[in-house]
A and B are shown apart, each in its own frame.
Chain A
Amino acid sequence: KAGVTQTPRYLIKTRGQQVTLSCSPISGHRSVSWYQQTPGQGLQFLFEYFSETQRNKGNFPGRFSGRQFSNSRSEMNVSTLELGDSALYLCASSLLSGLTDTQYFGPGTRLTVL
Chain B
Amino acid sequence: DAKTTQPNSMESNEEEPVHLPCNHSTISGTDYIHWYRQLPSQGPEYVIHGLTSNVNNRMASLAIAEDRKSSTLILHRATLRDAAVYYCILRADTGGFKTIFGAGTRLFVKA
A→B interface (CB under 8 Å): 4, 33, 35, 42-45, 48, 54-58, 90, 92, 97-100, 102-108
Contact = CB atoms under 8 A, between A and B. Distances in A.
Nearest to A102: B46
Given A42-B104, A100-B32, A56 B98 contact: yes
B103 A98 contact: no
Interface residues of B, number: 25
21 contacts: A4-B43, A35-B101, A42-B102, A42-B103, A43-B87, A45-B98, A54-B96, A55-B96, A55-B97, A56-B94, A56-B98, A99-B32, A99-B91, A100-B32, A100-B49, A102-B46, A102-B49, A103-B99, A105-B42, A106-B43, A108-B43
Nearest to B98: A56
A58 B98 CA distance: 8
B45 interface: yes
Contacts of A98: 97
Given A56-B95, A90-B44, A105-B43, A45 B32 contact: no
Q: Is the interface of A mostly helix, strand, loop or mixed?
A: strand
Contact of B93 (A44, A57, A99, A106): A99
A43 B49 CA distance: 18
Contacts of A99: 30-32, 91-93, 97
Among B30, B92, B97, which residue has the most Cβ atoms of chain A within 10 A? Answer: B97
Contacts of A106: 43
A15 B90 CA distance: 34
Interface string B81-111: 0000001000111111111111110000000
B3 to A, nearest CB: 12
A38 to B, nearest CB: 12
Contacts of B42: 105, 107
A105 B44 CA distance: 6
Nearest to B104: A42
B97 A56 contact: yes
A54 B97 CA distance: 10
